[in-house]
Chain A
Amino acid sequence: MIKQVENPIIEIHDLSVAYERKPVLWDVDLSLPEGQLIGIIGPNGAGKSTLLKAIMGLLPLNSGYIQINGKPLEEMRHKISYVPQRESVDWDFPTSVYEVVMMGRYGQLGLFNRPKKADAEIVMDSLRKVGMDEFKNRQISQLSGGQQQRVFLARALAQQADIYFMDEPFAGVDAATEKAIIKLLGEMSAQNKTVIVVHHDLQSVAKYFDWIILLNMRLVASGPINEAFTPELLQETYGGKLTLLTEISDLIQKHRFPNRE
């Protein structure tokens, strides 16, 4: 069940990605509608984070291309926000909540320019939206997991983008934070922003998302929640790993074989 859309905000064509030569995504072809809350679902090692990183240009592609609103990524970067996994950074780094959120403004500021008053206001506004304004001078090393995630979210808001890619924003956060985040994501999609979230708690999928992408090394499904979130498709995504595919991937890595001729 792969539903393609007219005038997609994101179009991925024949995308294949490998990590250290080991293929993790095979020939993904999909298009996504604007202004929706979209979940990327799949088991561990399915390539969910890889898909986001590939879209953001953080990984070399083996094949395929990605278009954002019909244009290449480089032209659209200022409209896109990326929220990496919380564990991907060192939370002992000596800096404050305010300074991390200000990093969301760096893209617009450009090299050499210092933040202006308007940037400071945007940062404070973003902090208020995630309920972290009281913590603005707090060292990031003193934050709880939920607070760390809120800070990352505030940084994304400060980018004032139209498309948001979030890698596991609900992983390891408290219930109150999860509720606050999903409320915020709902508000964003109501303002016609497109939000794409890597998620792995199946329980909440139907409640949270308008559209889902089911992934397990290859695209299993992409479509509106009521069409794609079916027991059969979930079975295909989670049940019975494609052992043949995994073994081929391992072989390619072991023999340092090229993925494409």
Chain B
Amino acid sequence: MWENALSFFDFDDTNVIYVSLGTIILGAGAAVVGSFTFFRKKALIGDAIAHAILPGVCLAFILSGTKNYFLLISGAFFTGWLSIIAVDYIVKKSKIKEDTAIGLILSVFFGVGIMLLTYIQQSGNAAQTGLDSFLFGKAASMLAQDVIVFSAISIILVFMILLFYKELKLITYDKDFAQSIGLPVKWIEFLLSSLTVLAVVTGIQAVGVVLMAALLITPTAAAKYWSGSLSVILILAAIIGGFSGVSGAFISYIAPNMPTGPWVVMVLSLFAIFSILFAPKKGYFSRLLQQLKNRKQIQDENILKAFHQIAEAEDNFGEAKSLEKLREKRYYTTRLMKRILLRLKRQGYLRRTKEGFFLSDYGQRKAARLVKLHRLWELYLTEYLRIAPDHVHEDADTIEHIITPELEKRLEEKLGYPEVDPHNSKIPYD
């Protein structure tokens, strides 16, 4: 097996080069076209097309008796398109919703396809070997001429997407507006559907019918975690699609009994899972980190506020405050409390002497601001939202942490720099 792996990278076998290049191009092409079906929220139509292609291929073979590319692709294109039209027609003319229509069409076409395939296999026509690779994809055993034909189609697809990028983007984002400026929306939609059918026809070489939808959708689903710009997402999706394609081909080359398609999809799914978990900003862990940060901020600010409140009650701002008194205001465990205090000291809000912790000048200002925000918000809730004074404290306790300086200023102006809050506590200003 490892000898196989090494010989893959030697590229001694010219077929290896073809297959590698071919799967990269096929994967990338399908991913780029798939991006638009994804953002048009028609991700599943790819699945319908993929299944609908099988009867077309079989019919073309039965009628011609040979494995002529042009005929097979034409047959595939024909029934693929037929499935789109059928889904649209059902949605438009009946009460059946799109997901159901796709399910119906997909199974009918696929059923007919399997019937025809079985018929062909039993007919004893020697040329039929290899037709069933349509079901699961067998990129690793593609021949040079297969690769050239399908790669050429993929390159044309990507070229067409680039050529009509502006228009495709507009009809995907805002179809009504596109139509209002006189764009030939129907024509561009027809073009995109045709490109999708062709992408499916070529992509099937890599992953087969059943897994084709993944090749269209998954690269974009992963890529959109990394960028908010359509052009960047398209490039990332192409890279992910291409890389997954060649990885699948590689694995089924080193272990010839392994089917290509499932491995391509495995690699794609790894990309998607990795993106969902680890992407910056939108990823799961990044969000988790943000929540942790928020929690720390709330804890820190609550303790600063407690310092201020105690000082206010004792009318003594300079002195150290004991842990017990702080815990009366905010019941955190002693361990947590100590951690927060040390953190605040590190950040320069607190200072520490033998007697304990006390607010630094900077901390003093920050604490006063927090108390002010809390009390301003309470006042805003009672005055503008007419909420009873005894209900406003909990609301203000969360809101005070997220009020920005701009909102603070507007709040002050709106309320006219009031002296006291609804509970008659003094509002501290700088």
Task: Write the residues of chain A forming the contact surface with B, with a CB cutoff of 8 angstroms.
Answer: 53, 56-58, 74, 77-78, 80-82, 84, 88-90, 93-96, 100, 103, 106-107, 109, 111-112, 114, 139, 141, 155, 159
Contacts and interface: CB of A to CB of B under 8 A. Distances in A.
Contact of B229 (A53, A95, A103): A95
A82 B167 contact: no
The 6 nearest A-B residue pairs measured at CB: A107-B181, A82-B180, A139-B228, A77-B182, A89-B174, A84-B176
B236 to A, nearest CB: 11
Q: How large is the interface on B (under 10, 10 to 19, 20 to 34, 35 or more residues)?
A: 20 to 34
A91 B163 CA distance: 25
Given A93-B173, A94-B233, A100-B173, 7 more contacts: A56-B176, A57-B179, A77-B181, A84-B177, A94-B228, A106-B178, A107-B183
Given A112-B163, A139-B228, A141-B228, A93 B172 contact: yes
Contact of A103 (B164, B170, B179, B228): B170
B305 interface: no
B166 A106 contact: yes
8 contacts: A58-B176, A82-B176, A93-B230, A94-B229, A95-B173, A103-B170, A106-B181, A159-B181
Given A89-B174, A103-B174, A80 B169 contact: no
A85 B116 CA distance: 49
A103 to B, nearest CB: 6
Nearest to B41: A90
Contacts of B224: 94
B170 A96 contact: no
Interface string B16-43: 0000000000000000000000010100
B174 A58 contact: no
Nearest to B35: A94
Contacts of A106: 166-167, 170, 178, 181, 183
Contacts of A53: 176
B74 interface: no
A234 to B, nearest CB: 30
Contacts of A139: 228
Interface string B220-247: 0000100111100100000000000000
B167 to A, nearest CB: 7
A94 B230 contact: yes
Nearest to A53: B176
Given A74-B182, A111-B167, A112-B163, A93 B39 contact: yes
Contacts of A155: 177
A82 B172 CA distance: 17
Interface in B162-200: 163-164, 166-167, 169-170, 172-174, 176-183
A93 B171 CA distance: 12
